[in-house]
Amino acid sequence: MEVNEIYRGRLIDHLQLVVKDLEATKKFYLPIFETLQIPIGGLGEDFIWVDELFISSKTSQAAQGELTGRTHLAFQAKDRAMVDRFYEVALKSGGKDNGKPGERPYHPGYYAAFVIDPDGNNIEAVFHGPGKKNVDAIKITW
């Protein structure tokens, strides 16, 4: 795995999830990443890598033999329709409902859906509404 770009200015550099069944995890996450238009950075026997998220098996060198605890991950969606598609695809891919698509009280225009992944993690797709702009991070190319 080679990294040739670093993004400065983000709160999180990367996150690792260590899962009990990587094949079930791949069946769950790969269709979601396709739906959300998140490119796969790499796939291996004991890992999946996408953007700042690294998912590995318990037996991978990076995991050091320990599973991670329950986590909440929220992926950004481009619009409400993408949130709706995320929810449908996640349920078809082995996820369990944890909140149908809809407005949430967090701020006006917050539209999200929640599912539970095969390891019990709470996975969300969120669209923050029209007029909410993403702030571009500084990009450093090596």
Is the residue at 53 inside a domain?
A: yes
Structure tokens at 87: 């929810």
Task: State residue 132's pLDDT score.
Answer: 57
Is the residue at 4 inside a domain?
A: no
Beta bridge partners of 19: 57
Is the residue at 3 inside a domain?
A: no
Write the CA distances from 14 to 7, 17, 41, 132, integer angstroms: 11, 10, 13, 24
Residue-wise pLDDT tens digits, 21-55 = 999 999 999 999 999 999 999 999 999 999 999 99
pLDDT mean across residues, the chain = 87
CATH of residue 96 = 3.10.180.10
Task: State residue 130's pLDDT score.
Answer: 83
State the total domains in the chain.
1
| pLDDT exceeds cutoff 50 at 71 | yes
- The 3-state DSSP class for residue 16 equals strand
Is the residue at 6 inside a domain?
A: no
- What residues have CB less than 8 Å from 41, skipping those under 6 apart? 1, 49, 50, 51
Is the separation of the CB atoms in 46 and 55 below 8 Å? Answer: no
Is the residue at 142 inside a domain?
A: no
Residue-wise pLDDT tens digits, 80-99 = 999 999 999 999 999 999 99
Please state the pTM of the whole predicted model.
Answer: 0.83
Strands 72-76 and 122-127: parallel
Given pLDDT bands bounded at 50, 70 and 90, which one contains residue 63?
confident
Taking residues 92-114, what's their average pLDDT? Answer: 96
Is the residue at 28 inside a domain?
A: yes
Is the residue at 23 inside a domain?
A: yes
| pLDDT exceeds cutoff 80 at 74 | yes
Is the residue at 65 inside a domain?
A: no
What is the span of the domain harbouring residue 21? Answer: 12-58+70-134
